[in-house]
Amino acid sequence: MSESSSEQGANSKKRTVAQLVDRLRAKTSAERLSLMAHLSAGRTLCRLRDAIANGEEVSQKAAMALLCCGISLYRRHTLGDKEEDDEDTEETNALIKRSTVLIFVLLAAIEASRGDRLDLDRAREVVEAANAATLANVLKVPNRRRKRKATEDEVPDPEEADAAEEWARVLTVSSGELTLSVLQFVSHSIGKSDATDHETLADLFFRNSAACMAHKMLLKGGDADFVSLRAAASNPIPREKRLLALAQAGESEAGQQILRDLLLSFLLPSSIVGVRRNLLMSRAASTAAGVDHADVVNTGHSVAMAGTEFIWQHSKDEMERACALLTGVAILTTRGGEDPIRKKDAFVGRVSLPFFETTPPPPGVKRLALIPDQRRWVLYKIGKDGAPNVQCNLRGFEGLCDCLLEFV
């Protein structure tokens, strides 16, 4: 039976949107995708486009299945074998990327077909804020105490108030809000402008969609501080001595490079840092940082030259001390092969940070994830049933310290 005729259902009836999505998922889930498989998937995408354009109803289940298919292809492209440079691999990765973008546009078309009122300015504002946001204050825990009422003689500082309001606004942008804003922004621009960067927005959308799903699972038990009984068990070695040992593990030339790039990844805007598999920033990101954020880069170099042990013992900056600890953990975990800090997945996939996209470790291994909009560090394991078993859910610098001690 030809490919064209196989797209017809029983009794020569056209397949529904749900059936087409199921076929697309089946075609893109193979371990290796041949050029013929890509061609077949492309035809299915065209039929999906025609069905949506003709006003066929798209159920929530079908839309979610299409989203999962897009996330799968996005991760497949991002985690592709970077060591293979043959033309077939490059061509295959390019086709995977193209299919990912097409699925993203289809999801935007579905959103546009719903006819909901759209605050385009707000959607654009959220996307721009996400690109400009940094993780510099992710360790700070908000003071929940009631604000003291200002006296008549006190004059509020407008710049300080504006900065506080701006930071509070950026923090309220969760992964869910960002993905919806990206989708709404593109749904409004379909057919109206050729300047929309669908590739970049598709990466932003699918990455944050996956993060949103993961965060919902990790925070299923609530967002209050939590430590399991096992994690809270006493240790005969003093806490400060164990933390110092972690920082000392990063004392090496490789540790200096990791410390610098980890600190820069927290301090620079996400649009500069981007997303990577390895511990070190890309050459393009480092160049852009040096041009537009020379002062931050200088800070990163100074901290790196001081070394992880010195920073841990003498720095007053919590972010610098946190990166010293993370550097030590990175040295302890990222091993194997030649030049692991450049060629292996950061933390062998066990630490999830917004600027890392890595292959996950097997079930039963401890993992640490940062949930930026909640400013929470979550330590967990994936059980045999695929559900996370949360061991620690803490905030702030001290929360990170406790999670790292249990992590190692």
CA distance 404 to 347: 12
Structural domain total, the chain: 2
What confidence tens digit (pLDDT) does each residue in 228-266 have? Answer: 867 666 778 899 999 999 999 999 999 999 999 999 999
Identify whether 354 is part of a domain: yes
Q: Is residue 381 part of a domain?
A: yes
Q: pLDDT tens, 139-192?
A: 988 765 444 444 444 454 544 444 444 434 444 467 778 888 888 888 877 666
Q: Same domain, yes or no, for 234 and 371?
A: yes
Three-state DSSP state, 227: strand
Q: Among positive and negative, which fits the CA dihedral 325, 327, 328, 330?
A: positive
- Indicate the pTM of the whole model: 0.83
Both tokens of 366, joined, read: 């401890």
Record the tokens describing residue 133, joined without a space. Answer: 């946001």
Examine the fold and report which residue of 113, 128, 152 is the final residue of a domain before the chain moves on: 113
Q: In what order do the strands lie in the sheet with 376-382?
A: 226-227, 388-395, 376-382, 367-371, 351-352
Residue range 13-23: mean pLDDT, rounded: 85
Would 187 be classed as within a structural domain?
no
Assigned domain for 294 exists: yes
Residue where one domain finishes, among candidates 90, 113, 136: 113
More confident residue, 328 or 124: 328
**Exposed, middle or buried, 232 (CB in 10 Å: 0-12/13-18/19+)?**
exposed
Residue 32 burial by Cβ neighbours in a 10 Å radius (0-12, 13-18, 19+): exposed
pLDDT digits (tens, 9 = 90+) for 372-403: 988 999 999 998 888 899 999 999 999 999 99
User: What is the per-residue pLDDT for 2?
Assistant: 38
In-domain check, residue 161:
no
- The boundaries of the domain holding residue 353 are 224-407
Say yes or no: 243 and 99 in one domain: no
Q: What does the pLDDT look like over 330-361, one tens digit per residue? A: 999 998 888 899 989 999 999 999 999 999 99
* 121 inside domain: no
Residue 4 has pLDDT above 70, yes or no: no
| pLDDT recorded at residue 1 | 36
The answer as to whether 13 is a domain residue is yes
Domain boundary among 82, 113, 144: 113
Mean pLDDT over the full length of the chain: 83
304 domain-assigned:
yes
Pairing between β-strand 226-227 and β-strand 367-371 as defined by DSSP bridges: unpaired
Do 245 and 381 lie in a common domain?
A: yes
Residue 392 burial class via C-beta count within 10 angstroms: exposed 0-12, middle 13-18, buried 19 and up: buried
